[in-house]
Amino acid sequence: MLARTLACTICATVALVACDDGIGPPRVTPPNPPAGGNDPDFALTGVDGWNLIGNALTPGKDSLTLAVTGPGDTTAIDVWVDDGAGQRLTAGGDGRFDGVVAIGDLGPGEHQLLFAADGATTAFARATFFRTHPMYFVVSTDWDFAEPGQAALDAHDRLRAAHPDIRFTQFVGPYTYTDPAVTDARKAEITTWLTSRRDQHDDEIALHIHPWCHFVAAAGIPCITDQSTVYQTDTSGYTIKVSAYGQAGMEALLDAADRIFVERGLGKPVTFRAGGWTASVETLKALAAKGYVADTSALNWARLEEWNRPPTELYNWNMATWSTINDTSQPYHPNVDDKQSPAAPHVPILEVPDNAIMVDYVTTQEMIGIFAANWPGPALTEPRVYMMGFHPSASFSNDEYNRVHGILEHADLYRASAHAGPVVYAVLRDLPTVWPPAP
């Protein structure tokens, strides 16, 4: 270590300064990187490994608050960001120097900091960090049945305890409130469960429709029974394609669902997923007409191969109508005539593909593979979405729970809140803020 005998008069009231001291102002040209590693005589804090690039939904991390402690005879410490000019940290006494370095103008990717003391031409430390756009991780649930099952509801709370950043987008079926088999007391319990999680954890209460006949009757229209994804006919309505109702019928179903949700204190839903992912472009037009801002019926159909042994209408229909949707499909505004096309003119709704689908059909390792496909690393050059989910029902199994827990454990390793990566847990209603319609 070179002896430091020069005195420095610190002349700053701001975090970073370039004062006129005995060693001169910080140099424009960065120093040479340290040879053989950082000098252990200096302790450095404040370099967060991952920093988000902000957007209209998510604030960016646009500065680093640095602190360096060195030998007591150190008079000045300068820092360089990439190839930028040097900036002087503020001396605080006892060998401590502090400063705030702006990084908001840096693009996605890896960036470098070099630190030098007392005008040295070789840095005593080098540190790196990343700038990245967010990867929004959406955990969704499809309420296919009137009774979700208490064990499945309790599983939500277990997952939240294990993964505190999580937020759920609950695609709730209005048929909970039209099924005569569900008691009034149970309906009230389910309502309290939903609203408490919304109010305490900012979960989203969204809409899911399988056209059960008791709900369709409540909407005041005839129940269709001959367009099932599984059977020749289905007199319950459960497996009937949502697309069978066209735009006018779908608007009637949405009006009924909105009325039920508001009456029960759930609030008007603004996002949707069709039962069996069976939304048509007419479905999307009905959603837009009734104030819905996003849909997530676009299916990564190839992951539904369980329904292709032997081939079923559910598999064949989704393969044909969502043919372009895959592991890495991202939000888009659908064309008025082709629900898979992002070309103008658009239906005024955001389509967010269900790219990791439901844990019924994918293992944890498969979901991790889809995660890697959407974030190949190191930094995202644009925001992305990872959408997955599960079915709350009496048949929700320990294996399914473990699949959900497994992918969340993986995602938690890369949380932006811990400066560990790009993962931001989000709910569907927020995403149109990031992907607004074209002007």
To the nearest whole number, what is the mean pLDDT of the chain? Answer: 94
Q: Residue 52 and residue 332: Cα distance in Å, rounded? A: 22
Q: Do the Cβ atoms of 140 and 388 come closer than 8 Å?
A: yes
Residue with tokens 């840095």: 123
pLDDT tens for each residue of 208-251: 999 999 999 999 999 999 999 999 999 999 999 999 999 999 99
pLDDT tens for each residue of 187-203: 999 999 999 999 999 99
Of residues 13 and 155, more confidence is placed in 155
Residue 145, pLDDT above cutoff 80: yes
pLDDT tens for each residue of 331-382: 999 999 999 999 999 999 999 999 999 999 999 999 999 999 999 989 999 9
State the pLDDT at residue 377: 85
Indicate whether this model's pTM tops 0.85.
yes
pLDDT tens for each residue of 258-296: 999 999 999 999 999 999 999 999 999 999 999 999 999
Residue 408, pLDDT above cutoff 70: yes
> Prior bond to 392 cis, omega within 30?
no
**Two tokens at 339?**
């629900």
